[in-house]
Amino acid sequence: MKKISGSFIALVLIVLVLGFLSGLVGELWLNSFLMPNSYINFKSYSDLSHKLDELIGTQNKTKNLQEQDLLVSEAINKVRPAVVGIYKDKKFTAEANSTLLPSDYLGQGMIVTNDGWIVSHVSALKNDKSSVLIVTSDNQIREVEKIVADLDTGVFFIKIPVNGLPVAEFNLKENLVTNQEVFVFGPDQAVVNSSIRDLNFSVGETAEELIRDSEVFYKYIELNNNSLGNVLGSPVVTLDGRVSGIVISKTGLVLPLDHLVAQMRAVIKNETWIRPSLGISFYDLSEILNANIKDKKGALVLASLGSAK
C-alpha cells in the first residue's frame, strides 16, 4: 500500500512539473510567434495577461482611428472632383511626347459652377502672361473661354465651355476654429495636411504697415505650414468636405471665401462688379498693442486716402 501511495505521489509530482514546463514553453511560444515585438519581454504570466488585456482594450481606439481616417478620405474625395490643374497653354501634335509636363504646371483652381466657372488666384500663375489650359480631375484638357480678374484681391475667374461639372461646397470663416485640421491640394492632386494657425492674420511689421486702406483686404486665414509647396490656388478643405478659402501664398496665407461672395455672384450673372469705396485710411484697434489705448475694437480713422501717408 505504501509502495502504491509513493508511486502515486511521484506520478502527481511528475505531472505537475510537466504541466508547469508545458505552460512555460507555451508562454514563450506565444510571445515569440503571436505577439508584437513590444510584448516579447514579459516578466510573468500576470504581466503577459495584463498586456493581452491592453491589446484587447485598443480595439475601440483602433476603430475610432479608422473612423477618423474615413472622415478624412470622404472629405477629400468630396472636393477632389472639383479641383483642377492650371497649365501653360501648349500647341499639341499627334506625337506621344507632345504632352503637358510638370514644368508646364502653374497651380490649382476650384470649380464653383457646374457650367464651367473656376476660381483661382493670380499667385498660381507665377506672373505668367501666356494663355492657360485647364485639366479637370478626370484628366480632360479644357481650353479657356473667358477670364475675369478682380485686381483688388488677385482672384480671377476662368470659364471653360463644359457643362455638368462637379462643384465644391463652401464654408464661412465663422464656422472655423484655430488648430482645426484642413487639407490642400498640390500637383497631380496630391493632398497636403495642415491646420489653422490664425483666423485673422494680417501683415504688419512696421507702424506704417498697420495703417489700413478701406479698399484693401488684409484679414487672412493663416495655416501652420510655413512651406506648403506648390499649392497656390488650391481650395482649403475642412473635415466636412467644404471649402473655406483658397491658398494665395507658399507661406500658408488663405483668402477666405466670405470675401469673394459678391464677386462670384456678379461673375456668374455676367455682371460687372464694382467694389464699394469708402476712401479712408485707418488703424484697426484689434492690432494695436498700447497700454494707453484701452479700446481693442473698431477702427481709428486717420484721413481720406492719399493724405495719411
Q: Mention every residue, 6+ apart, whose C-beta is less than 8 A from residue 267.
A: 117, 148, 157, 273
pLDDT tens-digit series, residues 151-206 = 878 888 999 999 999 998 888 888 999 999 999 998 888 888 899 998 888 777 67
Write down the pTM of the prediction.
Answer: 0.70
Best CA proximity match to 221, nearest among 189, 183, 195, 193: 195
Average per-residue pLDDT for the chain: 76
Considering only CA atoms, give the Rg of the chain.
Answer: 31
Share of the chain above pLDDT 70, in %: 63
Query: 163 — alpha (psi -120 to 50), left (phi > 0) or beta?
Result: beta
**CA-angle at 111, arms to 156 and 225, nearest 5°:** 75
**Torsions phi, psi of 108, nearest 5?**
-110, 165
Q: What is the pLDDT of residue 180?
A: 92
Give the mean model confidence (pLDDT) for residues 126-137. Answer: 82
Residue 36 pLDDT > 50: no
More reliable by pLDDT, 54 or 71: 71
Judge whether residue 135 has pLDDT over 50: yes
Q: Look at residue 37 in the predicted model and tell me its pLDDT.
A: 46
Confidence of residue 38 (pLDDT cuts 50, 70, 90): very low
- Our CA angle for 101, 243, 181, nearest 5°, is 95
- Which comes out higher in pLDDT, residue 4 or 7? 7
Average pLDDT over residues 254-265: 83
The closest alpha carbon to 105, from 130, 121, 125, 79, belongs to 125
Collect all residues with Cβ–Cβ distance below 8 Å to 205 and sequence separation of at least 6.
none
> Is pLDDT above 60 for 308?
no
Task: Measure the CA–CA gap between 170 and 85, rounded to whole angstroms.
Answer: 19
Residue 133, pLDDT > 90, answer yes
Q: Is the predicted pLDDT of residue 97 greater than 70, yes or no?
A: yes
**Contact by Cβ (8 Å): 235, 155:** no
